Structure 1
């Protein structure tokens, strides 16, 4: 998938309609960016 304003617009519509549900298993504050990157690199992150 390449960056495209039209595609992003379509995705936005699907998310707003509840057809696509984003998944985030954790949220890190910006002050914990190193911990967040380690979590991503561990392969456990979803979303």
Structure 2
């Protein structure tokens, strides 16, 4: 319980939360980007394009 209090009340804890949120957001962004690029590449290959 003390760890959660430190996480939400101290500047170091809040910075840690910010970094965790940023990393999760970045991972989501890259996963969506890579998936979209793979779909585009597969559609281009199916259409016979370069």
Q: Which has the higher helix share?
A: 2
Greater relative contact order structure (CA < 8 Å, 6+ sep):
1
